């Protein structure tokens, strides 16, 4: 892709590479289109962060005329697995991914900025992630809502 918006986004992302809070995460993948995601994840060799976004719900408090939006987000920490791994190796990989996801949740909970956006609204849910079609990936997924006043 090209264009000034693309160039700005790419430059901003590249400049933040040295600021990684969790160094074990080697790749960052986001999107909603299955084929594109499958292609990207098939090229990953280490632990990756996969962000999915879906439903946006809007409500209006008519007493104060304020619209609030909530976007459902799923954050997955996973890694491709060798098909010949034994259960102990799978357990260790799953444990490592869960530790990373828990660290992300702590960072997000503690990362309060001055905006009117709540980057992680509780409750959250965490469940195992197993996707043979995505490079035989295993890990953990956390689901939550991002909420704020008129964010969409």
Residue 10's pLDDT band (cuts 50, 70, 90): low
User: Can you tell me the mean pLDDT for 52-70?
Assistant: 91
CA-only gyration radius of the chain, Å: 17
pTM for this model (two decimals): 0.83
Tell me which of 92 and 151 has the higher pLDDT.
Answer: 92
Q: Which residues contact 98 (CB under 8 A, 6 or more apart)?
A: 77, 126, 139, 140
Residue 9's pLDDT band (cuts 50, 70, 90): confident
Q: What would the pLDDT profile of 87-96 be if each residue is shown by its tens digit?
A: 898 999 999 9
73 touches 151 (CB < 8 A): no
SS3 6: helix
A 10 A CB-CB count for 96 gives 16
DSSP E strand boundaries for the chain: 27-30, 48-61, 66-80, 117-131, 137-149
Task: Say what the pLDDT of residue 85 is.
Answer: 84
Q: What would the pLDDT profile of 135-150 be if each residue is shown by its tens digit?
A: 889 999 999 999 988 8
Q: Is the pLDDT of residue 12 over 80?
A: no
Q: Is the pLDDT of residue 151 over 90?
A: no
SS3 9: helix
């Amino acid at each position: 892709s090209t264009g000034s918006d693309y160039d700005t986004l790419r430059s901003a992302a590249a400049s933040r590479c040295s600021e990684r809070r969790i160094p074990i995460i080697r790749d960052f993948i986001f999107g909603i289109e299955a084929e594109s995601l499958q292609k990207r994840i098939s090229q990953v060799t280490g632990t990756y962060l996969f962000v999915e976004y879906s439903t946006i719900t809007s409500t209006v408090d008519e007493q104060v005329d304020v619209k609030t939006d909530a976007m459902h987000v799923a954050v997955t920490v996973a890694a491709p697995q060798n098909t010949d791994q034994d259960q102990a190796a799978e357990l260790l990989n799953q444990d490592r991914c869960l530790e990373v996801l828990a660290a992300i949740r702590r960072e997000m909970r503690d990362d309060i900025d001055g905006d009117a956006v709540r980057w992680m609204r509780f409750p959250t849910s965490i469940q195992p992630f197993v996707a043979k079609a995505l490079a035989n990936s295993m890990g953990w997924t956390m689901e939550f809502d991002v909420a704020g006043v008129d964010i969409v």
